Structure 1
Amino acid sequence: MNHIGKILPVEGYRVLFKGNLPVDYAKSLTHLYQPLIGIQAYSLYQTLMNELEFQHGSLVQTHHTIMNYMNLPLDDIYRARLKLEGIGLLKTYKNQIDEQISYIYELQSPFSPANFFTDEMLAQLLYHHIGENKFELLKEHYTQHEKREGANITASFSEVFKTFQPYLEGMEVAEDQHESVTDTAAIDFTWMEQMLKQRMIPANRVLTPANRKLISQMMTLYDLATYEVEKSVLWALTDENSLNRNEFKEACHDLFKNKHNQINIKLTEKEAHPINEPVSNPTTKEEQLIIELEKISPKQLLEDLSSGGQASAQDMKVIREVMTTQGLPSPVMNVLIHYVLLQSNMKLSRAYLEKIASHWSRANLKTAKEAMAFAKSEKDRYQKGKANKPNYKKPQSNEVVPEWFKERKKKKQQANSTQDNTDSQQEWEETATLLRKYSKKKNNHL
């Protein structure tokens, strides 16, 4: 991946650090983080940490300094910086005054060795990077506790104090407040809540805060679709309707292996410009619509298309079942919902939805852009086939038809065909406008 020019040697930087470092943070970086991010990112973190001593007043150093310390070209340093950001060890802020660009590198505290293993995603990644034997050795060494003898007779809060305390069944308190690598707020759990309710399973017992974090992390780690995560959750449920966390992780791993033919799980850098990446600077309404359909959930799409109203439980059930049965990614499902609504006068027909979904599933569509192009091509093919279909209802007349009449009829057919395409394009564009309108309205209320 080419990172040349992302930052320049003459651009300045300052280093900040907020919080407290664990006493044994160096062990954590060496044994636990370094296998994941590599020696260059590890070295960059240590270099920036030691640079804190030289942060006096408003002194801003240039990136020449880091290049000289690490003896590395700037594109390698930039790549190492991205790894630190991705793993949660660094936050970067960019300032530009006139033509002068500078950066603030805010170092984040790593997990202590013991707490590292409480983050399910990082622990699973380390397991895949260094193997089972070395992983178990490190885990046993860093998480060992002194043996306690005797019965635990410690009084609880409720036994000592009397006060009002709200209680939610099944809620768990996170043991560590360290910022997680993944953002659980980015995952829409509406689908899973609906799925559990349909099966008469108490969602609040399964989707506790700790379990939501685990589900989000495994979804990111193994690149699983929503329907695949739902299968893993159902597989790992106990007789008491609680989530067996180890069985859930194993189920996610098995799904990954089946889908990717035993490929190893390793942290790798993303391509700078993935083939299926949405257009970053959309120039047309269709490109804007594609970006919206890539980002939002099917539930939000339904609500936006109904002028912000609540999506009905029946519609949500239909969409969830079609989506999970056919294994459609969320962006593709969004295009399908949009297409069916346009073709059915804004009615969500289950039979029509299932018919098209099975076709799109066989076509192996992955992105909103692919699905939209496929939908347009299929509609064009259908219209052309309909126009070329011979009409056997009327027998041929022996009456001589004037040439001017034939020409006028031909032009009328061409005009109708052009109008159909124009109307279809206009419908897509109107939806893009509607989605942007209600997305902005929601953001303004946040």
Structure 2
Amino acid sequence: MERYFTELNGTDEFIVISNYVATQVTEDVLSTLYTPLIGVECIGVYQFLRQFLTGYEQTSGLLNHYIILSELKMNLAHFEVVRKRLEAIGLLKTYMRIEDNQKFVYKLIAPVMPTQFFNDPMLSVFLFQQVGKPRYQQLKARFCNETFNLDGYQDVSVKYMDVFGTPKTPDKVVFEGNEYIVKQNESHGIPIHQHTFDFDLLEMLLAQNLITKSQLPKATRHLIVQLATLYDIAAHDMRGIILKSLTSDQKISHEDLRKNARDFYQIEHDGKLPQLTPQKTQHEEPETKLTWFELMDTTSPIDMLTSFSKSEPTIKQKRMIESILEREQLPFGVMNILLQYVMFTNDMKLPQSYIEEIASNWKKQKLTSSEAAYNYVKSFEQKKKEKSNKRTNTYNKQNTVQKEMTPKWLLEEHNHMSETREQDNVDLEKERQKLMEELKQSWEEDK
């Protein structure tokens, strides 16, 4: 699977589905509780994907990853980094199927509700460490409400039967298709798999203290795995923590289990608690270097031209671009660099014959990407500069020989003409250098 994720392509299709319908509470939980844990960028991608679900719909139409590149301005390698963080925190599941091309399903998972969040041993600890005690208490208070004290009041509500009588037997059609009604599923928090912890060893160790499997129900096992993962606790250490958490009737107290596991970790780490720290991936380092080139490779030349020149291209320019792309079969990235290069070196104009000539030449050069075209332009300009300097040096040598053999009156006239031509050459060279500096500066700023 790791090999695949380095090869995600803009043409790969995806569908967004969800297991819940967004409410004000889920929005509030995402912005106040999850944002400190995974950052605004991850939450932004999550909400971007959710926009494709409208109303009560829980399945989107078919999309492709070009929309990530063009609208989020994010290369696909970095999108994978963000996607994995959303999966790790329990907000997203990704499914893949390979047909003619790769097809994905991104399933948005409901955020954990406040009651579950603040009782979750992992989420609550990570949030506490991330924001500090005062802010943690403030966030917790945000989701607390005082219940009205009903002491002294008597329940005088009537029953259904007292008002409406005996209900009639419903027709079968009443319940047909109910399985398709929108469901509001709960989230299970950070996804932790039990195979990450050696339960066989733990059960063998606990058996020595007469603790049986019946004393380890599903909820208790899940909590043990969470605590073992959060605090990096091995099976033999977990045995001691469980024994300290037994009640008088030999049941495992979840509250004591959390407290004893936390105390165990703090003793080993000078009173500190674990923090949620994303690991660096191989895609995170080069992302800033690749962003601009990848955008050039995946953006339509007409869209690029619109953005670059801050105006809509003319119909003639659009037809010219479409014609060249169809005839020369140049990739988008190569065509985008070509158009920018021509504009910078031709006073922001787009002479068709000149563009067609360059496009034909670049096709022969077999340029396949914006980066290759960019490097070719730099190399071409460098060679042109060296050739110009060589011509100037040759001319100076020839001029010296001519001075020795030419009469003074003719030499003076020739010098005057030469100075005029040389000044013209200098002016042209300065203008060319100025344009190339603007080109280089623009590219460097965009990268």
TM-score (norm 1): 0.49
Which structure has more helix as a fraction of its residues? 2
Q: Mark the structure with the bigger radius of gyration.
A: 2
> Which fold has the larger relative contact order, with Cα–Cα distance below 8 Å and residues 6 or more apart in sequence?
2
TM-score (norm 2): 0.49
